[in-house]
Structure 1
Amino acid sequence: MSAPTNNSLGASTFILIGIPGLEAAHFWLAFLLCFLYLFTVLGNGAIIYIVRAEQSLHEPMYLFLCMLAAIDILISSSTLPRMMDLFWFNSTAIEFDACLVQMFCIHSLSGMESTILLAMAFDRYVAICCPLRHAAILPSPSIAKIGLAAVMRGAAVMAPLPIFIKRLPFCRSRILSHSYCLHQDVMKLACADIKVNVIYGLIVILSVIGLDSLLISLSYIFILRAALSLSQEARLKALGTCFSHVCAVFLFYVPFIGLSMVHRFGNLHGSSIHVVMANVHLMVPPMLNPIVYGVKTKQIRQRIVRLFQRTTH
């Protein structure tokens, strides 16, 4: 089915597309999206339930993991149901205001996730480099404050993005290149100067994603330096507690930074690499994070086994 022309669109409507080159498979891909969404919600929901129910997991690392799981559920809920509607029912039109809301949700939740990953890196740094002061540096009230700060930071930093889009006129094509609304995608359709959007978007990338990834890298430099002074057994045990977090960091930052670079410096004409990278960034980490932490964390793994045993009897 061909996309509607610009003249047939409403004054405040954008057109979403699926995956270029795979239009014929969209109906069946929607079943995969449905599976990914259900697995993401159930997996992250199980993490939240287990950490809440298991007294031994009421530690900073697992409390931060609960926050990460909640954010992953929200990110998936802001994108995947709309994508399934697009792929199953060819519901391509999205109202301008709905697009702005979705844009804000995706970008602000990504900012919150970056902050939580930084907090988890700080927790690993304190646990390995200052183990005797861990409880004093990160008491439960501080964990709650860090979670609140992550929410406020993500919302405050990303709030100007839809405001800057709102002021732009759109008089050319309104066909987006993704199955959901991203700031860098929507702003390129404007028929006005988007310098403010570009500059602020770059500021956000550097001050949130760039700064957080730099601080996480520095924390692991200190962690490795402290671990090298330990015995081999203690070193492996200490670094083993960081494995899940390192996986979560790579799953989040590598696609995010790659997508930002492709949007800003890549030649996207006739290429769908940015679409693939955007889908990987928003769909894969929320699904894989519960698996990574479930496999690596003994208490979570044992509790999941007990839950399955209880449901099968």
Structure 2
Amino acid sequence: MNVTSPSIPNFVLFGFPGIQGWMSIPFSVIYIVTLLGNFTIVIIITGDESLHEPMYLFICMLAIADVISSTSILPRMLAMLWFDITIISMEGCCLQLFFMHTATFVASSFLLAMSCDRYFAISNPLRYSTIFSSSTVRKISLLCIARGLIFVIPLPVFVSTLSYCRSNILVTSYCDYISLIQISCTESIFYAIYGLTIAFIIIADAVFIIFTYVMILVTVLKLASRKDHDKALSTCSSHLIVVLLTYTTAIFAVIMNSFAEYIPSSLLATLSCLYIVLPGMLNPIIYGMKTKEVRLHALK
């Protein structure tokens, strides 16, 4: 469905023609597990005062961000798969774009905050409670949210001002900035630079987090006892697994989009969605399995 008008009110999402019934099953399971897992994490942490520590509060915030990220995509996607509703309005597209990218950005910010929390907890345990006080945790949480809003609010504004004279058909099953830029006929390097800036910030977060965990590893190796080694590594292992999962899938998505013309449409749409929703489903499972306190409270 190609159009020649300078702007279009609606977009057509990729609806997995021929296999949409089958595709609804795994994505339904992913969404159900995501909601159950993350809400369980939130209920456990908010309901037990012994878990009102910075590490667990950041995990709780990350769980909320994961729910928002998945909810911004999957309900609309499931409606498309079940009822063949492939049309999405400009307003709906901008809302989806805003909530998805904000939640993703906020989640990255909380992963960054968690890495700093673990570094100070291990490298400077005597001053840890002073550095990461309740007031500090609240300020960091607000800063993470504000950081996401500041950088993402311009995205739907930019998208709504673009002209779409090439096509209104998206190669993905949801609205994302890269796909919309690709079908736009507005020639402006500013939009591309802004998208690259967002990507660079996320990559910078990943680099800083990896550097922080390297410093944590160096500190752990200096600890005298094997018991201290094991305790420190056990505390950080769940965070590190979540970090690797989140940023590995994001990097894979960027590489995949670079070779989009060589990838079948159904595979491209599936992988484009999975890199957003898969971490949200697996994160609570990882924390439940690898974090002793969360696991014990979940069993209760």
Asked if 1:13 is matched to 2:10, the reply is: yes
Contact 2:2 2:166 in 1 (8 A): no
Asked if 1:257 is matched to 2:266, the reply is: no
Query: What is the match of residue 266 of structure 1?
Result: 259
Q: Measure, in 2, the Cα distance between the counterparts of 1:7 and 1:195.
A: 22
- How far the C-alpha of 1:271 sits from its partner, in A, is 3.5
Asked if 1:287 is matched to 2:287, the reply is: no
Q: Measure, in 1, the Cα distance between the counterparts of 2:149 and 2:101.
A: 9
Asked if 1:179 is matched to 2:173, the reply is: yes
Q: Measure, in 1, the Cα distance between the counterparts of 2:77 and 2:64.
A: 20
Contact 1:48 1:70 in 2 (8 A): yes
TM-score by length of 1: 0.90
Query: What is the match of residue 53 of structure 1?
Result: 47
- How far the C-alpha of 1:194 sits from its partner, in A, is 3.9
Give the alignment partner of residue 121 of structure 1, picking from 104, 115, 120.
115
In the TM superposition, 1:32-71 aligns within 5 A as 32-71=26-65
Task: Report the 3-state secondary structure (helix = DSSP H, G, I; strand = E; otherwise coil) of the residue aligned with 1:172.
Answer: coil
Paired residues, number: 297
Quick one: percent identity of the two aligned structures?
37
The code of the aligned residue for 1:213 comes to: A
Cα shift readout 1:259-296 (whole Å, capped 9, x = no counterpart): 22333x43524544543332221121111111100111
Q: Measure, in 2, the Cα distance between the counterparts of 1:138 and 1:103.
A: 33
Query: What is the match of residue 195 of structure 1?
Result: 189
Query: What is the match of residue 202 of structure 2?
Result: 209
TM-score by length of 2: 0.94
Task: Report the 3-state secondary structure (helix = DSSP H, G, I; strand = E; otherwise coil) of the residue aligned with 1:192.
Answer: coil
Residues 287 and 267 of structure 1: is their aligned pair in 2 closer, same or farther, counting only changes over 3 Å? closer
Q: Measure, in 2, the Cα distance between the counterparts of 1:174 and 1:27.
A: 24
What are the ranges of 5 or more consecutive residues in structure 2 without an aligned counterpart? Answer: none
Contact 1:108 1:158 in 2 (8 A): yes
Q: Measure, in 2, the Cα distance between the counterparts of 1:146 and 1:224.
A: 24
Contact 1:161 1:183 in 2 (8 A): yes
Contact 1:118 1:216 in 2 (8 A): yes
Query: What is the match of residue 101 of structure 2?
Result: 107
Q: Measure, in 1, the Cα distance between the counterparts of 2:282 and 2:136.
A: 28
Contact 2:249 2:275 in 1 (8 A): yes
- How far the C-alpha of 1:155 sits from its partner, in A, is 0.9
Task: Report the 3-state secondary structure (helix = DSSP H, G, I; strand = E; otherwise coil) of the residue aligned with 1:114.
Answer: helix
Range with greater deviation from structure 2 (272-281 or 239-248): 272-281
CA RMSD, aligned part only? 1.8
Q: Measure, in 1, the Cα distance between the counterparts of 2:110 and 2:137.
A: 10
Query: What is the match of residue 217 of structure 2?
Result: 224
- How far the C-alpha of 1:14 sits from its partner, in A, is 0.3
Cα shift readout 1:207-241 (whole Å, capped 9, x = no counterpart): x2122112111111210111111122211210111
Q: Measure, in 2, the Cα distance between the counterparts of 1:226 and 1:303.
A: 30
Contact 1:268 1:274 in 2 (8 A): no
Cα shift readout 1:25-80 (whole Å, capped 9, x = no counterpart): 21132132222212111111110110112222111100000000000111111000
What are the ranges of 5 or more consecutive residues in structure 1 without an aligned counterpart? Answer: 307-313
Contact 1:48 1:69 in 2 (8 A): yes
Range with greater deviation from structure 2 (297-306 or 285-294): 297-306
- How far the C-alpha of 1:5 sits from its partner, in A, is 5.2
